[in-house]
Amino acid sequence: MDLSAINPVILIASLMVAATPILLAAIGELVVEKSGVLNLGVEGMMITGAICGFAAAVETGSPALGFLAAMIGGAALSMIFGLLTQFLMSNQVATGLALTLFGLGLSALIGQGYVGLKPPATDRLDLGPLSDIPVLGRMVFSHDIVIYASLVLVLVVWLFLRHSRAGLILRAVGENHEAAHALGYKVVRIRLMAIAFGGAMAGLGGAYLSLVRVPQWTEGMTSGAGWIALAIVVFASWRAGRVLLGAYLFGGVAVLQLNLQAAGIAVPVELLSASPYLVTILVLVIISADRSRAAVAAPGSLGRVFHASS
């Protein structure tokens, strides 16, 4: 065992990389759930984004186009969910599961020709002298644009929900859809937009996995990341800032266990591999055990079917 092989600078830098896919998916799902919709299809949208982004990047040679395609792919898939749950009033839990199962199949189908290929590299963002700062430069100022975009996105979502009128309306729809309808807000339209945003972000997160983090395409490569993103939204008590915390916490566990595996620590490899899932379960338990907070934080209409009868 050689723990000295673990370099804290690289550890933090790779933590950010590991956390970003989940951060993106979770912040998207946060907006969806704030509008009162529970979309359990995050895993399916992520993996669809992963292959759409990968395929587009390989075909065009442009990672940027890849990320764009991933967002379109994730959003397109989420619209199936939107159509079923918002217009045909299907059960959101069942439809979300169906979306995940379908997404896994569809992505494997699209991805057949792409196994073993290498995607074009995503460039680091040139931050000039910032990147040259010792230690810190390596740690936080030498990343690609998507990482920074994801951090900005957290801020934007926070501002949107907390301080904008549109965000207020979105929260109102999620809190009590009947009252929002009575005030004349278009519940279904607002929710569809939220669902599409959630799909796009999940897709982007998936593409970050296949284009940067791994970077290659394998079937089922998200391996539960979408579910962890869902858990992080609960952990965050539906608050944007805490989604960031949750995602980076998870990223830390994921990177640390990989480093420990590499260092040959005397713990079974399987236990280390399972640790991100176990930690997620543990965190969920701690959060939900706090009864008062969990009940207040969840949007009032979350997961409930809306049918405008009047």
- Using DSSP's 3-state secondary structure scheme, residue 267 falls into coil
Number of other residues whose CB lies within 10 A of the CB of residue 95: 21
Residue 83 contacts other proteins per CB under 8 A: yes
The C-alpha torsion from 213 through 215 and 220 to 224, rounded to 10°, is 0
Place of tokens 């916490």: 249
Query: DSSP letter string over 25-51?
Result: HHHHHHHHHHTT---TTHHHHHHHHHH
Residue 155 contacts other proteins per CB under 8 A: no
Dist. CA 192–CA 95, nearest whole Å: 15
By beta-carbon proximity to other proteins, the closer residue of 63 and 199 is 199
Dist. CA 283–CA 262, nearest whole Å: 25
Place of tokens 């607002």: 190
Residue 116 contacts other proteins per CB under 8 A: no
| Contact with other proteins (CB under 8 A) among 35, 86, 95, 142 | 95
| Contact with other proteins (CB under 8 A) among 6, 60, 224, 265 | 224
| Contact with other proteins (CB under 8 A) among 135, 159, 267, 274 | 274
Least spacing, CB of residue 302 vs other proteins, in Å: 11
Q: In the chain, which residue ranges form alpha helices assigned H by DSSP? A: 8-34, 42-60, 63-82, 92-110, 136-140, 145-163, 165-175, 177-182, 187-208, 225-235, 240-263, 269-289, 291-297
| Contact with other proteins (CB under 8 A) among 258, 284, 302, 304 | 284
Binding-residue pattern over the window 173 to 212 for other proteins, x denoting contact by CB under 8 A: --xx-xxx-xxxx---------------------------
Residue 258 contacts other proteins per CB under 8 A: no
Residue 223 contacts other proteins per CB under 8 A: yes
Residue 156 contacts other proteins per CB under 8 A: no
Binding-residue pattern over the window 230 to 249 for other proteins, x denoting contact by CB under 8 A: xx--x---------------
Are the C-beta atoms of 46 and 202 separated by less than 8 Å? yes
Residues that bind other proteins (CB under 8 A): 40, 80, 83-84, 88-91, 93-95, 97-99, 101-109, 111-112, 165, 168-169, 171-172, 175-176, 178-180, 182-185, 219, 223-224, 227-228, 230-231, 234, 268, 270-271, 273-274, 277-278, 280-281, 284-285, 288-289, 291-292, 294-296, 299-300, 307, 309-310
